Structure 1
Amino acid sequence: MTSPQNSLTGKSAHELAFSSMNTEGASTEKFYADLRPFDNFSQLTHFDRYLPLPDDWFIGIADVAKSTTAIKTGRYKAVNTVGAAVLVAITNALPELCFPYVFGGDGATVAIPGKYFDEVKYALAQTAAWADDTLDLVLRVAIVPVSAIRAAGHDVRLARYAASDNVSYAMFTGGGVAWAEGQLKKGEFKIRRAPLNAKPDLSGLYCGFGPIPTEQGTILSIIAIPIEEQRSYAALVADVLALLEFSSRRSGHPLPERGPLPAWLGGKIQRLLGQRSPHANLLTAIADALLAIKTRFILSAGIRMGQFNPLKYRREISKNTDFRKFDDGLKMTVDCSPEIADAIEARLVSAQLSGVCVAGTHRQTSAHLTCYVPSNIRSDHVHFVDGADGGYAAAAAKLKASKTTAVADVA
């Protein structure tokens, strides 16, 4: 529901509620930081390990409107950049806070204590303005209280998966995030974009990698949403993971173990991020191109510069990548053979026909990487991967189509 405005303060009812929680929410602030992560991805279906998000938190959610259309016209890099920019903007606005988040390809989701409502609202509004003004993409953003999610009959529960010794990612279940996304697309709980040319702090956002080609034949984007948390869904996930474990390199990891290399010239979007003003000129374009060339040369040659070890950094890129996650359902971007892709898709179709899940997949020949690197001498840089020709957005569109077909068949 869209909140009415308070005539005295100009704030919505939800904003006023969060303001009153500022002191009460302090005791729950370290909820996520204190969650003990698991390091075996197969444990993602151990739903008893997911803990309820505190009631005084909220879900911040963002989604690029008409992303499928944008991707069909070759703008997948821009779409992915906007999704990652949401997470970077909020992280830079709250640098001391450990909070759960998930990258969705054409959007992102965060969970934040209520006391930080104003900071997150401003970061979301700025990111929406930047996406529109710089990349000509409409970013829908909303803030949904966890209390509202539970009042609607859903929940938000969390676990934490350690992708490496240095980086962990949140796992969401309970259906609440999916419900919040549905509300966002209906225009509920929405946040208006900031004024013209507002720009969030996107320090550390890096989009200089080119397409990362498949080594086994197919980059497969997978989404499989459980109809309910049941043993048969856990068995489905186990089967998919087993197919990848025993038949694919490094469980289907789409990045080379030594890490990828950036494009020689960094790409148009990286150059846009490097500009200090909205209007590029020849000198800034040349400076950005030279920086990109230097970055590629240092990383490929392994030349150490002070404390920066490029070979170690590249290996960490691969280790710290979010190529598999659970966001109210299994989501993966994997490198596998066409035969394994066939087997995975057949297993998902069987599960759909049995009422276990709804699913969508999409095949492409390369993956795309968008990164947050607050410091290249630390090991906690994070890397968001998606398919480079539709990815999660295309898989989600096919999932939606399969749901519509299933409803029509029942009718």
Structure 2
Amino acid sequence: MTNPDTGFYENLPALNIPVSKLVGDIGHFHQVPESWHIVAADIKNSTQAITKGQHHSVNLIATGAVIAMINIAYNAKINIPFFFGGDGAIALVPKEILLKTLNALQKHKINTFKNFELELKTGSLPVKTIYQENIQLKIAKLKVNEDLNIPIVLGDALHYAEDLIKNTIPEQEIIPDDKPLDLEGMECKWDKIKPPKIGQEVVSLIVISKNDTTSYKIFSEVLQAIDDIYGSPHRRKPITVQRLKLKANLRKINAEMKAKLGKFNLPYLIKSWMIGKYGKHIWLKKENGKDYLKKLVALTDTLTIDGRINTVISGTPQQREALTGYLDNLENSGKIAYGMHVSEESIMSCYVRDISTHEHIHFVDGGNGGYTKAAKSLKAKI
């Protein structure tokens, strides 16, 4: 790497402290280099699509968007921060891979419209522009456990850029090259996942701060309150190995195939169906399958802080009521706004480079369009 800015995120220290403590100390955060860019992909009219029962397709398309960006960076041997949303994805990328990233998203956009008749809005905004507008963009890296580090962003920059890309900036004219879209590692083999215990529910929560400059303080308090009410991140995680069930639903496998490959592929369909039908008895009995399951829960991403708190948690209705009461007080005092959606299960999509190592990450959303419906609830308040 000739440009020292290119390795910026790679070189950030991964802080092994509780997330509420990390967020509460602005000294842990760093300015993103001006030469980097915010890249976003967002499904237009995703709320309507989910209302029509297309929540599975929306989740697949969002997963494909984030994996398209990850793979460009992976092949360039660059580490980038990325953020999965239920109906889209955002990443910060250095200028060296900007055009390749936009090229990949353009291919994904074409596939999305062809196979799902949904429009994917894509584009980018220079970080330099963010700073010229005096919008905060600070980042830190959290060590969640031995296998997983995640980016933590403070400031409204990512959502400011996303809004411009969706609604204001003219679509960038990109003619994709002839290479096939690389969604290597995209796996969506798990069926809907029930909470760990009977009587529990899955909560999809989005919290924004009303004051961008002091968001770190209020976010720290909110994250601590979630710990106090629901327990540690491990205890409130909605995914357990015991609840995982491989899916052999041909309709869902067909949708996954079209999202990943952009076309019908009979061998892929048969292989995926066989894994769903018999994988529990064959694939998951092998040593690498067992190791994969052990790592899977540890590598499940249920918290995204991209200028907002986005989290999927499991617990009892009583715990949710306690959290809602706490958040209502903060909202009524003008400190935050929040959106919440409650469902009976969660859904998980996966990025798996190598099941025998820690090179996989699993994106979780609440069932029936959890994050998208939480965002709709939030939008009605602001």
Provide TM-score, normalisation by structure 1: 0.84
Contact 1:245 1:251 in 2 (8 A): yes
Match of 1:65 in 2: 44
Match of 2:11 in 1: 34
Distance 1:222 1:290, change over 3 A: same
Pair 1:342-2:327 in alignment:
no
Q: Which amino acid aligns with 2:145?
A: S
Q: What is the identity percentage for the equivalent residue pairs of Structure 1 and Structure 2?
A: 21
Q: Give the deviation of 1:258 after TM superposition.
A: 5.5
User: Secondary structure at 2:40's aligned position in 1?
Assistant: strand
Match of 2:181 in 1: 200
Pair 1:107-2:88 in alignment:
yes
Q: Give the deviation of 1:189 after TM superposition.
A: 5.5
Distance 1:194 1:347, change over 3 A: farther
Distance 1:124 1:184, change over 3 A: same
Match of 2:147 in 1: 166
Distance 1:193 1:138, change over 3 A: farther
How do residues 88-99 of structure 1 correspond to structure 2 at under 5 angstroms?
A: 88-95=67-74, 96-99=77-80
Q: Which runs of 5+ in 1 are unaligned?
A: 1-21, 404-411
Residue in structure 1 matching 2:59, options 80, 96, 99: 80
Match of 2:350 in 1: 371
Q: Give the deviation of 1:223 after TM superposition.
A: 0.6
Match of 2:167 in 1: 186
Tell me how far apart the structure 2 counterparts of residues 252 and 199 of structure 1 sit (CA, whole Å): 39
Residue in structure 1 matching 2:126, options 135, 145, 162: 145
Out of 38-47 and 85-94, give the one that drifted further: 38-47
Match of 2:206 in 1: 223
Deviations 1:225-266 (A, max 9, x none): 1112254443233112211117xx933100015572321347
Match of 2:363 in 1: 384
Tell me how far apart the structure 2 counterparts of residues 259 and 31 of structure 1 sit (CA, whole Å): 38
Match of 1:252 in 2: 236
Q: Which runs of 5+ in 2 are unaligned?
A: none
Q: Give the deviation of 1:70 after TM superposition.
A: 1.2
Contact 1:127 1:199 in 2 (8 A): no
Contact 2:64 2:259 in 1 (8 A): no
Q: Give the deviation of 1:364 after TM superposition.
A: 0.5
Q: Give the deviation of 1:131 after TM superposition.
A: 1.4
Q: Give the deviation of 1:199 after TM superposition.
A: 4.9
Pair 1:241-2:218 in alignment:
no
Tell me how far apart the structure 2 counterparts of residues 347 and 84 of structure 1 sit (CA, whole Å): 32
Pair 1:129-2:74 in alignment:
no
Out of 187-196 and 34-43, give the one that drifted further: 187-196
Deviations 1:194-222 (A, max 9, x none): 57998521111001111001234210001
Out of 74-83 and 234-243, give the one that drifted further: 234-243
Pair 1:278-2:237 in alignment:
no
Tell me how far apart the structure 2 counterparts of residues 160 and 142 of structure 1 sit (CA, whole Å): 25
Q: Give the deviation of 1:71 after TM superposition.
A: 1.3
Q: Give the deviation of 1:66 after TM superposition.
A: 0.8
User: Secondary structure at 2:165's aligned position in 1?
Assistant: helix
Distance 1:132 1:296, change over 3 A: farther
Distance 1:174 1:82, change over 3 A: same
Distance 1:197 1:347, change over 3 A: farther
Residue in structure 2 matching 1:48, options 7, 27, 30: 27
Which of 1 and 2 has greater Rg? Answer: 1
Distance 1:61 1:47, change over 3 A: same
Tell me how far apart the structure 2 counterparts of residues 373 and 280 of structure 1 sit (CA, whole Å): 20
User: Secondary structure at 1:254's aligned position in 2?
Assistant: coil
User: Secondary structure at 2:130's aligned position in 1?
Assistant: helix
Provide TM-score, normalisation by structure 2: 0.90
Q: Which amino acid aligns with 1:340?
A: Q
Pair 1:262-2:246 in alignment:
yes
Contact 1:58 1:145 in 2 (8 A): yes
Q: Give the deviation of 1:293 after TM superposition.
A: 2.5
Contact 1:167 1:380 in 2 (8 A): no
Distance 1:182 1:271, change over 3 A: closer
Q: Give the deviation of 1:380 after TM superposition.
A: 2.1
Structure 1 segments, 4+ long, off by >4 Å, are 192-199
